[in-house]
Every structure is written in C-alpha cells, then in structure tokens.
Homo-oligomer: A and B are copies of this chain.
C-alpha cells in the first residue's frame, strides 16, 4: 500500500510524539521536525507508510542513543492487558460463542496502537476491551474459524505490546500447537518484540519467532529467512494491525487481516468506518 498525502501530516505528528518520548531536549525536537520535513519534501510515496516510521526511529536512536522510547508505554499496556485477562477468560468460558468473542477481543486489543494516536489512556483500553461487543464489526468469523480448523500451520503476525496479551486468548483457541507467533526484530513505536511475547506468556504455549526487522509492519524482503520460510510454509496467515495491513495487503497470498480501523486513509481504502473491527481476507 502506497503512502498517501494524508499520511504526511499524521507522520509529522507521530515524529513529534516520538522525539518527545525519546528526549526532553527542545532543540533536538526542533532539529528532528526540520529533518523530517526534509524527508517529506523528497518522500517516495510509492513506499508503504511504515518505512518512513522505521527511518524516523533509526534517526531518533542515532540522535538520542535511546533505543526504545516507547518501552514504558509498552510495559504499562502489557501490565494493563494482563490484569484484564482473568475477567476476560471468565467471560469467554461463559460465552455462547467463545470463538467469536476471542476474535473480537484480539481486534479490540489493536486499539493499543501509538502510531495513529499519540497517547492512549488506560480507560480507553479497558473500555475498548470490556465493551467489545458494542463496536461495529465487519467480517466473516465463521469462515475464519473453518479456515483455521482446516489449517495445520498458522502464522500469527502480532502487532503491538498490550494487544499481544489479548492475542494469547485467540492463539489458545486456535490450538497453540499449530501456531507460530511472530514479533518485530527490534523496537519501533509500541510494536511487540520478543520481550512482549514473553511477558504475554506466549513463548510458553507456542512457537514465537522474530521477523528480524524493526519496520512497524512486514516487509518480507527485509525479514529473516526463518520468518520468510514460516510465511511461505504456513497454510493460514493471520496479520494483526494496520501496519501489517499496509505492508502485506498487496501480497499475493490470501491473508486474514484483523485490525481496528483507526485511520481515515485505511477507512477509505477498505470502505469501512473509523472504529470498525475488521476481519478481512
């Protein structure tokens, strides 16, 4: 998916947010914003949006020496999601359609995304999860379920910290023995890395691999051979979040995308309203 000019103001806002998280030096803030303006001036809009985010986070790391400015936010969101797990498990147990509920909870977790939005309060996260059934939903969960039952190897491309804790409920339901969860190879925005998969307890129940890349999405060409092999050899691919959608939606494989629609550009592209829980094949 190309970068749209609507992505540019949004990316500019994201850059300001990221540099403020990385440093309190206001001269650096200004320097970064001027640098990013220069990139936008010369931007290759045929590239997907996550590539520019990767460039920003490399530049910030180089300028500040801080490798993971979102670490505190990620830890907070993991802790918050873990604290919700017991009540969610009870809800799933007593649900008339537990599969549907865990799919919707996994998508609700995708609310925890510090790319399109600069901050996310604990209340917003809790509301998104607790009131999951009130949110608009678009997709065929029965088809998704049948496809997963028929599949022997499922690749589950995770997206963000916090969210990955709720993904665990869906992985458990899919059958952990046939699922490989993948995480980013390095810190970028609040995307989940191996540390978050461990915190979520996923490493204890299924295979978890890194994709070897710190793009906040999935650019196969820069992922490890191990990841590409898992991608090619899986009979079902589940992709979480907008960044993975932006980078994988043109892929020739049939991929099942699960995400919450949080940005007007994607909303228009897929013809769904902002806030919709989307399950797209």
- Residue positions of A touching B, CB distance < 8 A: 5-6, 8-9, 12-13, 16, 26, 29-30, 33-34, 37-38, 40-43, 45
Q: Is the CB of B9 within 8 A of A5?
A: no
Q: Is the CB of A30 within 8 A of B45?
A: yes
Q: Taking the nearest CB of chain B, how far is it from the CB of A33, in angstroms? A: 5
Please, how many angstroms separate the alpha-carbon atoms of A38 and B38 in the complex?
A: 6
Show 13 residue pairs from A and B whose CB-CB distance is below 8 angstroms, ordered by the A residue.
A5-B29, A5-B33, A6-B16, A8-B37, A9-B12, A9-B13, A9-B16, A30-B45, A34-B41, A34-B42, A34-B43, A37-B37, A41-B41
Report, nearest first, the 4 A-B pairs whose CB atoms are least far apart.
A37-B41, A37-B40, A9-B13, A9-B12
Please, how many angstroms separate the alpha-carbon atoms of A34 and B30 in the complex?
A: 19
Q: Which residues of B contact A26 (CB under 8 A)?
A: 5
**Chain A binding surface, main DSSP class:** helix
Q: Which residues of B contact A38 (CB under 8 A)?
A: 37, 41
Beyond the given A34-B40, A34-B42, A34-B43, please list 16 additional residue pairs across the A-B interface where CB-CB is below 8 A: A5-B16, A5-B29, A8-B12, A8-B16, A8-B33, A8-B37, A9-B9, A9-B13, A9-B16, A12-B12, A30-B45, A33-B40, A34-B41, A37-B41, A38-B41, A41-B41
Q: Which residues of B contact A5 (CB under 8 A)?
A: 16, 26, 29-30, 33
Please, how many angstroms separate the alpha-carbon atoms of A9 and B15 in the complex?
A: 9
Q: Which residues of B contact A16 (CB under 8 A)?
A: 5-6, 8-9
Please, how many angstroms separate the alpha-carbon atoms of A33 and B37 in the complex?
A: 10
Q: Which residues of B contact A45 (CB under 8 A)?
A: 30
Q: Which residues of B contact A40 (CB under 8 A)?
A: 33-34, 37
Q: Taking the nearest CB of chain B, how far is it from the CB of A166, in angstroms? A: 30
Please, how many angstroms separate the alpha-carbon atoms of A5 and B40 in the complex?
A: 16
Please, how many angstroms separate the alpha-carbon atoms of A34 and B3 in the complex?
A: 14
Q: Which one of A5, A13, A38, A43 has the highest number of Cβ atoms from chain B below 10 Å of its Cβ?
A: A5
Please, how many angstroms separate the alpha-carbon atoms of A37 and B33 in the complex?
A: 10
Q: Taking the nearest CB of chain B, how far is it from the CB of A55, in angstroms? A: 15
Please, how many angstroms separate the alpha-carbon atoms of A188 and B162 in the complex?
A: 45
Q: Taking the nearest CB of chain B, how far is it from the CB of A86, in angstroms? A: 37
Q: Which one of A9, A26, A38 has the highest number of Cβ atoms from chain B below 10 Å of its Cβ?
A: A9
Please, how many angstroms separate the alpha-carbon atoms of A29 and B43 in the complex?
A: 14
